[in-house]
Structure 1
Amino acid sequence: MVTTVFFTTSFVNTPPGGKAPNLLFTVGVGAGLIGGLYDGYYSYGKLKQHGDFGLGAPDKLDGELVVFQGKIYQTQNTGKTFVVDDKQLTSFAMVNFFQPDKKFTVSSAMTKESLFHFLDSVLTNVNGLYAIHISGQFSYLKTRAFPPVKEHDHTPLASMLSLQHFFEFNNAQGDLIGYRLPSFMDNTNISGYHFHFLNNQKDAGGHMIDVKADNITIEIDQMDSYSIQVPSTSDFEHFDFKKNRAEDIKSVERGNKEGGK
Structure 2
Amino acid sequence: MRALGTGMLIAVAFCAQAQDKRDVLYQVSTIDALLSGIYDSVATVDDVLDQGDIGLGTFDAADGEMMVLDGVVYQATFDGSMNVMPPSTGTPFMAVTHFVPDRVLDAPELENFAAFSAWLEGHLPSRNIAYAVRVDGHFANITYRSVPRQHKPYPPLIDVIRNQAVFERKEVEGTLMGFWCPTFMNGVNVAGLHLHFLSADRSVGGHVLNVSLKDAKVGIDDTNGWDVQLPMVPAYLNADLGADQGSDLKNAEQGGALPDASAH
Structure 2-normalised TM-score? 0.87
Partner of residue 121, structure 1:
122
* Alpha-carbon offset, residue 124 of structure 1: 3.3
Distance 1:38 1:23, change over 3 A: same
Matched AA of 1:184? F
Match of 1:186 in 2: 186
Distance 2:186 2:110 in 1: 31
SS at match of 1:222: strand
Q: Equivalents in 1 of 2:183, 2:227: separation in Å?
A: 16
Could you tell me which residue of structure 1 aligns to residue 7 of structure 2?
A: none
Deviation of 1:109 (Å): 4.5
* Pairing 1:30-179 to 2, within 5 Å after superposition: 30-150=31-151, 152-179=152-179
Q: Which moved more, 1:122-131 or 1:199-208?
A: 122-131
The total of aligned residue pairs comes to 240
Indicate conservation of the 8 Å contact 2:41/2:60, yes or no.
yes
CA distance in 2, matches of 1:154, 1:109: 38
Deviates more, 1:21-30 or 1:105-114: 105-114
Deviation digits for residues 130-160 of structure 1, max 9, x if unmatched? 100001000100000111111x433111122
Deviation above 6 Å: which 4+ runs of structure 1?
A: none
Q: For 1:220 and 1:126, how far apart are their aligned partners in 2?
A: 13
Report the alpha carbon displacement of residue 107 of structure 1 after superposing the two structures with TM.
4.6
Rounded to whole Å, the distance in 2 between the matches of 1:163 and 1:129 is 31
Contact 1:38 1:153 in 2 (8 A): no
2:13 paired residue number:
none
Give the deviation of 1:241 after TM superposition.
Answer: 0.9
AA partner of residue 247 (structure 1): S
Q: TM-score, normalised by structure 1?
A: 0.88
- Which residue identity lines up with residue 134 of structure 1 in the other structure? V
Q: Tell me the equivalent position of 1:215.
A: 215
Q: Pick which of 42-51 and 103-112 moved more.
A: 103-112
CA deviations 1:225-251 (Å, max 9, x no partner) are 101111121111111111211111111
In structure 1, C-alpha distance between the alignment counterparts of 2:54 and 2:130, rounded to whole Å? 14
SS of corresponding position for 2:235: helix
Cα RMSD between the aligned structures?
1.5
Percent identity of paired positions between Structure 1 and Structure 2 = 28
Post-superposition CA distance 1:177-227 (Å, at most 9, x none): 011100111111111110000001111100000111100000000011101
- For the residues of structure 2 that align with 1:162 and 1:228, how far apart are their CA atoms? 28
Q: Which one-letter code corresponds to 2:184 in the other structure?
A: F
Q: Which runs of 5+ in 2 are unaligned?
A: 1-18, 260-264
